Structure 1
């Protein structure tokens, strides 16, 4: 078995949180390796959906630092839009997934990040409460990678689980998790014709059932860069009655970019999937791809502007919204999220809405009876602070966690799973890991003043900043 040389910081998972964590660790001076199972970094951020939660409802920016820099670079090359306030969704920022992939790779290379792609962590080596190394599997077989500090950005707390750490899965009642979906992209779409249809049929714009925000107007959809179109309930009802729609959703979402004929589509859903079970994942992949084909046929037949639409790309993996939640020294709650709470040890801010897709039919979500086809969605008037205690798992000395598996309740995880928040926690985790390594101490021992000052120096938004505000599109 091959033994690689030791790294200061090993980031497991190069997705939305992990890519940012690796850049942060390298920029903070650590010799950093990111281990990623696919052939590029960025994860679900590269699938083509718009970014939600870069700012709160009042327009105060929550995403700064490395994540904010990424979107500034994209806007400069016509690969993304500036953030806009959205009456239904909170805030929205458009991005070109291919431009994003390349820009993120450039940023990582510039920072000096080392990559190990097409590799999957299968085990850990421990000495007491410390992780000494991870074992990865790839085309060469099994390899051992020693490290001083590790960052779990697997999305599923895989490193925590393999190291014997404590976690929960899904909601406490029955361990049920949010359903999974597959994003896909279509080309040759006449978005203007679709908007013309909605102007003539405003009842087919999402009526905001389950949303805390207000229904989109056609004026908003026409004037907002990267407008996110949610609706088509009436057309879906027609297709369902005709036996041409059996997907368990009552509306779909279209992601747009200004002047483009390519769009992203979010319209698939499978319940009862454990994202840590390979058999469940296999079933989900097959079912969501079947649904992709059905939704594409529906769009071509029923929705004006999609008559000539063609499939450009489907997701490299089904999108998992929820699996494990680590046990940290603090567990973020829905009350924290909705109240815009602040904490003395916060390392960034979250503004992605509290977004819970119906866990299953006939159950309660946030005290609402749900049927399995909808969503419970609270956009946030004020962003909330994220304590560093949520990023440090109990009982493992040299490990930090970022992304959707940080310490949070099932309900609060509906917000922290958002891509903007994953970039915030990724930036903080990478910086914390580098500081811990430099000081030869555990992440929990790094002074919060030192961590916060370093993050601020790196452009991160630790506290709500009244000088950084996005104004609504007029």
Structure 2
């Protein structure tokens, strides 16, 4: 036994030494994150002659763009420029190849997109795509630009950020690796680097009075998008009997006063890539921990005559779909993510797993439970997981749709008025154009004893809007060499429009451009000359104003 213990000691000591003595990885620009914004930012930094390292907690790069959201939320596509447009051009190039159409003839696919054709031949762009195709484009960017990327590297959020004189000097990950740079970019959906660096942020919904907005805060009684209960549905285990207790996934808490602030988060889900092609279809598995009682409320919705289960099975190439939430009880896991933004990595894994079980269980329920109407069940049984997607994750998306987490309190706050064109936006670094769009934040019992959802907002905007440079900048006193293009500075409802993957790519490119100029001028990112920044962005075909 003693020899075994000594041997173990001999094996462990060199490992500890290697961690303690690990060399510091240095670059001009350090990007934390593996999202679409992270990869685009890295490409731009490289193109501007800067050394760059991507420190990615993710194994798969591209975030939601490669994680199932293939039916791109774009709004007005004319304002998408720069590397973001190049990404969608590369998607178009891929689908011009006959080999890309394995399970379907291109002519059979059609050309359905969100508001515009999926394939725009005149612009040579394509906005609808399979997850693995998007991931390959991001991997091509990495290969072509010889980007240095460290995967599965998780920031030590407690003591992994070293600051001197208001600047980040280096970050350290849980593996013991250290990364030192001149400028840092937080391109995560959660804003972990931003928070660990001591930058101010908020979580949840502001009151309508905070910024003089009308669509922020608690929105009881506001029913948009159809994602609400149109019929009177009882939330109690025994219908109509409040003493019997609530059904699962209904909150017994007061929803709050209309217009008031709260810390609730709009619901998350997985954007699923399903297929009805038998040769590529895997029947929905029963997840471990499956509990059919979790879907009792859905049976009552179906019994009421609601039949829109398949309304957001949006077609993408090769007999596949990008499936999103739709209706009063669907794939959004309402109320189960409130602690996610601030949670530990361990707790986040639990939340993600719970979302997986809920959503996989819902698919299994619809395909197999006898309480589901026969016509819906027969149709659901024609669908399944795509065998050629997410192959190393049991064909399930590797990225949870974190629609919103932390939001920075930066130099400039984008608000409802900014998005609706009711207030001026200084120093444009890109444009957005999607509707004010927030998903439900809670499911509660109304005073009349029936169930209702709250928080889903959909308000059209008249024209594209500018996004301010100040919205990706922390306050200088908090950090002078950090840019935040994803968890940027915006109110909850303004973020509901900005939070689209093309915009994240746009802001990622602009952030990297600003980082390079800050390095060249030996300036704080808050001191970058906007005239120079604008000139460079326009040179790189970023679209800063409507044309």
TM-score normalised by structure 1 residue count: 0.77
1:219 aligned residue: none
Counterpart among 262, 267, 271 of residue 179 in structure 1: 267
Q: Are 2:344 and 1:263 equivalent residues in the alignment?
A: no
Flag the structure with higher strand content. Answer: 1
Change (3 A) 1:168 1:239: closer
1:343 to 413, 421, 425: 425
Matched, 1:310 2:384: yes
User: Contact between 1:95 and 1:257, CA under 8 Å: does it hold in 2?
Assistant: yes
Q: Secondary structure at the match of 2:312?
A: strand
Asked which structure has the greater CA Rg, the reply is 2
Tell which deviates more after alignment, 310-319 or 275-284: 275-284
Q: CA deviation at 1:292?
A: 2.6
Say if 2:413 and 2:491, in contact at 8 Å, map to a contact too: yes
Q: For 1:149 and 1:442, how far apart are their aligned partners in 2? A: 9
1:273-331 Cα shifts (integer Å, max 9, x gaps): 12231465344323322233333235546166543322232221422111211111110
Indicate the residue corresponding to 1:61 in structure 2.
Answer: 78
Equivalent residue runs for 1:183-332 within 5 Å: 183-189=271-277, 240-241=299-300, 253-258=312-317, 260-267=318-325, 268-270=331-333, 271-273=335-337, 274-275=339-340, 276-278=342-344, 280-297=347-364, 300=367, 302=376, 305-312=379-386, 313-332=395-414
Q: Answer yes or no: is the 8 Å Cα contact 1:48–1:97 preserved in 2.
A: yes
Equivalent residues of 2:273, 2:385 under 8 A apart: yes
Aligned to 2:26: 6
Correspondence list, 1:111-122, <5 A: 111-122=145-156
How do residues 19-168 of structure 1 correspond to structure 2 at under 5 angstroms?
19-56=39-76, 61-78=78-95, 84=113, 86=115, 93-122=127-156, 123-137=160-174, 141-168=175-202
Deviations 1:114-172 (A, max 9, x none): 111111111111102010000012xxx30111100000112222112111111111113
In 2, Cα distance between equivalents of 1:251 and 1:127: 54
Aligned mates of 1:288, 1:165 — CA distance in 2 = 29
CA contact (8 A) 1:340 1:385 kept: no
- Alignment root-mean-square deviation, CA: 3.1
Q: Which residue of the partner structure matches residue 106 of structure 2?
A: none
CA displacement 1:219-275 (0-9 Å, x = unmatched): xxxxxxxxxxxxxxxxx9996139999xxx9886213124x2222222322214122
* Separation of aligned partners in 1, 2:433 and 2:163: 36
The answer for unaligned runs of 5 or more in structure 1 is 191-235, 365-369, 466-474
Query: What's 1:376 paired with?
Result: 457
Whole-Å Cα distance in 1 between the matches of residues 34 and 377 of structure 2?
37
- Contact 1:54-1:62 within 8 A present in 2 as well: no
Structure 1 position 417, deviation (Å): 1.4
Change over 3 Å in CA distance of 1:7–1:363 after alignment to 2? farther
Q: Between 318-327 and 354-363, report the one with greater CA deviation.
A: 354-363
Distance 1:387 1:4, change over 3 A: same
1:291 to 1:31, Cα distance in 2 relative to 1, 3 A: same
What is the SS of the residue equivalent to 2:273? strand
Q: Distance in 2 between matches of 1:410 and 1:17?
A: 20
Could you tell me which residue of structure 2 aligns to residue 449 of structure 1?
531
Kindly state the Cα deviation for residue 374 of structure 1 after the two structures are TM-superposed: 7.2
1:428 equivalent to 2:502? Answer no
Distance 1:66 1:340, change over 3 A: farther
Q: How many residue pairs were aligned?
A: 402
Q: Which runs of 5+ in 2 are unaligned?
A: 1-19, 102-109, 121-125, 207-260, 279-294, 326-330, 368-373, 387-394
How does the TM-score come out when normalised to structure 2?
Answer: 0.67
CA contact (8 A) 1:347 1:462 kept: yes
